[in-house]
Amino acid sequence: MQVTQGSPRPDGTREISIVVVPRDRYRNSLGPGRADALEVTGTPGTTLNGPLLDNGDGSYTATGSWTPKSGSDPAIVVGQPGRPSVVLHPPSKPPRKHRRRDRDSGDKERGRLEAAEELLESLEIEGHDVEGVRIRHIVIDIEVDDGDSEG
């Protein structure tokens, strides 16, 4: 289900368009040509303009209006003869990952490339241009002279 909302109207409602792709239990599309087999109504806060429009590709569109002050998202109730009705809500949005992606990310990548070039030089691996950096494993063994060794 995909919901497209228009701009707010003076009365506080929004024009909406809801596209659904009904599927059977095997995930096969039920259509095109099946709009008459689906009875659709709006949930509280959602008012539909009429029956489903068959888009000819297995999807169907319902148009209408939605009242944001209703306290619920736009949704529809779909019924089929001989089956219980189903309420369709828009898919919930996964929580956004708050990754900083700003102009500093380019600076960080350049810093990684420079560090990789310096590492290759320190290992006396020269003559290669670093094009990218991917860290897969980090193992660092450092031997130090503690000053107690003879010799």
pTM of this structure: 0.58
Domain assignment present for 18: yes
Distance CA 67, CA 95 (A): 24
Instruction: Give the mean model confidence (pLDDT) for residues 75-93.
Output: 84
Quick one: which of 57, 59, 88, 84 has its CA closest to 72? 88
pLDDT at 133 (0 to 100): 66
Q: Is the pLDDT of residue 19 over 90?
A: yes
Domain assignment present for 145: no
Check the CA dihedral 129-131-134-136 and report its sign: negative
Length of the chain equals: 151
| Residues 45 and 118 grouped into a single domain | no
Q: Indicate which CATH number applies to the domain containing 48.
A: 2.60.40
CA angle, 67 then 73 then 78, to 5°: 100
